[in-house]
Structure 1
């Protein structure tokens, strides 16, 4: 006897097959706490583009948080002498930085006139005060005591930031790994003042040159060096796109957080996180 399918029965690919009862299980919105997430989107004015401004910054904070999670995981592995896991984590950091860079492209659809409709509403609030961004900077080694001050009013933020400010950076741990592998990293570098940004050192450059001149002998260290450079390269691109976004939106006006705005961002582009990894190209 031939079975004739019921034309009114939903097929295996029909949306009617999807689960629809969530009285006893998590739904998509429940799992992601979307009510809480979207309730944080609260414009202060009726300006249409304020929605865009808030959305881009919310999304950017989520990416920054993920970057910090991945940086910490990579740093724990490096501290334990492991290289493979950090390579994967740092690749994820690079991809997240690419998303952050692209977020500025969305914000650039806002014109100066659009921005001025709500600019005065948020007062001195500024991305300069982002604890997620500051954490990323500290983990990557860009440290200045003044950068802690905007968080003094929040002990819950200031305490972990201060801990990161005094702890070894990602690059510090990479150099420590080189020393553990027998490369001559001087004690003055291994025990440097971690509250200061890194400065180029000829013996560190010599150690990296050893790795780069014979990559097959220390392939994992060579890969680590290139991945660190990927991170800094994409960090610079994100900062540059931030600068051009600010310049086309407010020109050279003072930033909302009290910095010089575009001038401050342009100077920040001069920061070098892993100096010897850039110098090694010239010396090869």
Structure 2
């Protein structure tokens, strides 16, 4: 049997795989791989900087996909289309799992390795990621202060301002449950959408009722899918804490942030908190 190298060497001149393209390949026209592969521009000779750049850029792409899916789910809930919403949430869980795996190239950086290029990015910080801010806003983690940080870029700031004022994914879930006849408290349904979402006992009672009911009910399946998503996001936040703890300990972060302390505070906040609280009462 001939190996793969020999088989490739025998491709004829008229084989479709050998035909020249007029300009860029159709693959590059669609995927824009040449653009993506031109975006890694290390500023130092440090061996680990390339991995840091690629990891960060890949995460930005996953953020974009996750935001796309959560917006699709939110829109479907607003239309009472549970099946379409669930499909989008399932796709998003796959994306968040892939996002979590993106830590691996830089997960074990030592302080010396990180210091080899850290000064090069100056005041740049992951806190400044606009797409990650869209993710957080969709989770109900609203922050006017972090919105103001983007005022210097009008188009980015305007998109974030709109997202800051819109219902979160979870807000639309609760409105959907209310329209299905479940007693979501009025003050939750009419809450200030620009404020961070906080756990409410009335919403805990709603989820408790769903979980105490039939074990194959569509709304229980929704609760479990949201719980999967919440757990994955929490794991991403925790992994972020661990990567920073290994690479720089408790030193101040770039751009003047408190670094590890800030990340630990964010990681401690439960995503979709009533789904967790309801479990203790069943």
User: Secondary structure of the residue that 2:263 maps to in structure 1?
Assistant: helix
Shift of 1:110: 2.9
Larger Rg: 1
Q: Cα deviation per residue 1:207-248 (whole Å; 9 max; x = unaligned)?
A: 22221111358x221111111111110001001011000010
Q: 1 CA distance for matches of 2:103 and 2:224?
A: 26
8 Å CA contact 1:197, 1:273 repeated in 2: no
SS in structure 2 of the partner of residue 19 of structure 1: helix
Alignment partner, residue 261 of structure 1: 259
How far apart, in 1, do the equivalents of 2:178 and 2:93 lie?
26
| SS of residue in 1 equivalent to 2:55 | helix
Give the aligned partner of residue 252 of structure 1. 250
Q: Does 1:275 align with 2:273?
A: yes
Q: TM-score, normalised by structure 1?
A: 0.90
Runs of 5+ consecutive residues of structure 2 not aligned to the other structure? 1-5
Instruction: Tell me the distance in 1 between the aligned counterparts of 2:107 and 2:219.
Output: 39
Distance 1:242 1:205 in 2: 29
Q: More deviation in 111-120 or 24-33?
A: 24-33
Contact 1:198 1:275 in 2 (8 A): no
- Per the TM alignment, residue 89 of structure 1 is displaced from its structure 2 partner at its CA by 1.4
Instruction: Give the CA RMSD over aligned residues.
Output: 2.0
Structure 1 residue runs of 4 or more that deviate by more than 6 Å after TM superposition: none
Superposition map of 1:163-182 within 5 A: 163-182=162-181
Task: Give distance in 1, aligned partners of 2:49 and 2:233.
Answer: 26
Shift of 1:163: 0.9
Deviation at 1:144, TM superposition (A): 1.8
Q: Secondary structure at the match of 1:75?
A: helix
Does structure 2 retain, via aligned residues, the 8 Å contact 1:142–1:273?
no
Q: Give the TM-score of the pair, scaled to structure 2.
A: 0.91
Shift, 1:140, TM fit: 1.0
Question: How many Å separate the matches in 2 of 1:15 and 1:245?
Answer: 47
1:188 maps to 2:184:
no
Structural mapping, 1:56-67, within 5 Å? 56-67=55-66
SS in structure 2 at match of 1:257: helix
Separation in structure 1 between the aligned mates of residue 188 and residue 214 of structure 2, nearest angstrom:
23
- Distance of 2:244 and 2:149 partners within structure 1: 21
